[in-house]
Structure 1
Amino acid sequence: MPLSYPISLALFQDKFKISMAQFYVNSPRQVDRTAGGSQNSASLGDAVWRGSFSVPPTNQRSVSAQLDALLSVLDRAGSSFLVYDPSKCFPAEDPGGSILGGANVTIGSLSGTDARLMSLSGLPASYQLRAGDLLGFSYGSSPTRYALHRLVEDVQASGAGSTSLFEVTPFISPLATSGAAVSLVKPVMKAVLSPDPDYGSHRAAISSGKQFSFVQTLR
């Protein structure tokens, strides 16, 4: 059956091990210095996530060949996949997500004037989130867009499971809406592969050196 895009976690990221990962927000901007020494900064576009994965050596040639096939499919125009940060699968205070359980977490509110601020509803009572925790949600249709945000500050839910407004990065899309379902466990973004992934080397008994980079897409 032909692949559909974005390729799911089960069909891509969860099929292979990762030995090293990078995940960071890239904010393209220009900085100019005036004659008086002032630094003038201007944004050159929306901030997006970038990342890269390195894959450990393996003597399972079939596993290596499967990844090669997937990379070759993704290394062409129009292909995309879902991806999460393997080092931050869960909130810092809830390793494994057992406290969160099956809670139906949603966006509680969004600031009408400040794209940095949001609140959450549906958390367990007094649930703690830490600066650096990640959250994700989807918005829009045709295509569905996948937002990924990092908390800038600590926040704790009330006894009723809602939080006050807190700051996240990057900025929240104006298309996001309150009530949208929020994921705190393996929050994903939609990404495209950067050109020329490294397929590594293949010897008789082992394959090694695979690594590739990717960038978030908001379309």
Structure 2
Amino acid sequence: MALITFPRAKPDELTIVGLSFILDPVQEVTPTRGGKQIAADLGPTLWTAEMRSGQMEEDDFGIVRAWFDTLSSLEEFYGYDKLREYPVSYGAADFAAMTVGGNPFDGTCSLANVVDNGLTVQLNSLPVGFKLRPGDYLAFEYGTSDELRALHRVSAGGDADGSGELDVEVRPRVRTGWEAAATVMLYRPAARMVVMPKSYTETIIPPTFGEVSFRAIQTLGS
């Protein structure tokens, strides 16, 4: 039995001190004779990331090196925006103090519906008054056997009502294949990503320290 399964979680030893996490549309822009810009989507909009670690002690550096070794051949890992591990209004202690229907809140809710051509996500099973603000993230599995992972950033947020329901607008648009009642992750919402070839670099800092940096891109494959 394999000891390692994919997608892999980011090891705690990989402390990120430099990060960009952006949506990268695959578009072609063509100007008209009148100066108007015509855009055509050539493929799905995907999340891309650039990450740089802080200095790591020798033991931690070895763990991170070994983690990257396993991601060769475009094996997948879960990548997320370190800036928003939690929604901006909350932290770990806040989540621990919340309840849903008398039960402890575990950082997840349910997907009720998707409307407005994939731009509005309707959520339920949230703590009353729960806040999602622009820049927060949510993620959920989709596809015929939940083999795909959707990651969306909130464009217009709000507060959950007295029934724990909340509508938010997101980008990118929700793709087909979602199912009502899917579990929506609000803590460390992540995309399935691969390290871009030849982007991984490491620096040895004598006597026993190391740093790494790399680029990654979302994958929609299974």
Q: TM-score, normalised by structure 2?
A: 0.87
**Structure-1 residue corresponding to 2:58:** 61
Residues 11 and 64, structure 2, Cα contact 8 Å, conserved in 1: no
Q: How does 1:16-35 map to 2 (within 5 A)?
A: 16-35=14-33
Q: 1:73 aligns with which of 65, 70, 74?
A: 70
Greater share of strand residues, 1 or 2? 2
Q: 1:102 to 1:68 in 2, by over 3 A?
A: closer
Q: 1:99 to 1:35 in 2, by over 3 A?
A: farther
- Partner-residue secondary structure (3-state), 1:214: strand
Q: 1:174 to 1:199 in 2, by over 3 A?
A: same
**Structure-2 residue corresponding to 1:90:** 86
Note the C-alpha offset of 1:204: 4.1
**Root mean square deviation, CA, Å:** 1.9
Q: How does 1:109-188 map to 2 (within 5 A)?
A: 109-111=113-115, 114-141=117-144, 144-164=147-167, 166-188=168-190
Q: 1 CA distance for matches of 2:209 and 2:199?
A: 15
Note the C-alpha offset of 1:91: 1.0
Q: 1:105 aligns with which of 94, 103, 109?
A: 109
The answer for unaligned runs of 5 or more in structure 1 is: none
Q: TM-score, normalised by structure 1?
A: 0.89
**Structure-2 residue corresponding to 1:207:** 209
Note the C-alpha offset of 1:99: 5.2
Aligned residues: 212
The sequence identity of aligned pairs, in percent, is 24
Q: 1:88 to 1:73 in 2, by over 3 A?
A: same
Q: 1:155 to 1:218 in 2, by over 3 A?
A: same
Structure 1 runs of 4+ with >6 Å offset: none
Q: 2 CA distance for matches of 1:107 and 1:169?
A: 16
Note the C-alpha offset of 1:14: 2.4
One-letter amino acid matched to 1:94: Y
**Structure-2 residue corresponding to 1:4:** 5
Q: 2 CA distance for matches of 1:133 and 1:186?
A: 10
The answer for unaligned runs of 5 or more in structure 2 is: 99-104
Note the C-alpha offset of 1:86: 1.2
